[in-house]
Amino acid sequence: MKTPVLLVSILVFTFQATYTYAQMMKSPEERAKDLKEKLNLTNEQTEKVEQIYEKADSLFRNSLQGSGNRDQMKTAMNALMNDTDAKVLKILNDEQKEIYESIMEDRKKQIEQLQKNFDH
């Protein structure tokens, strides 16, 4: 009985992780374009967001080459994500910030669920 439950849990976790990973692994240009559509960004804002994402991707790749310690990597990724979000928020108007904060909250919930599934 435990085997089917474990198998289903593994499959669900794998699907969620793959989906989230695919979203995060879009190119900076694709992610900026997605955000442009969701937030109705100007071309100037979109260019700035793309530059922020390019820098974040570079830092992300560098962090993957660091230690294999899971907790350290988790802490570094959270710091990078928070820094990236703060930079994006600085270039948004009040209406765009509200929508972006909602997007951040949804992403946070997805990550928490993935971590919860991974820890069990």
Say which residues have a Cβ less than 8 Å from residue 9's Cβ, sequence separation at least 6: 117, 120
> Which of 66, 28, 68, 63 is CA-nearest to residue 49?
28
84 has pLDDT over 50: yes
In this prediction, residue 16 carries a pLDDT of 47
> What confidence tens digit (pLDDT) does each residue in 11-54 have?
444 544 444 455 557 999 999 999 999 999 999 999 999 999 99
Reported as a pLDDT band with limits 50, 70 and 90, residue 5 is low
pLDDT at res. 67:
62
Cβ(92)–Cβ(36) below 8 Å: no
d(CA 66, CA 52): 22
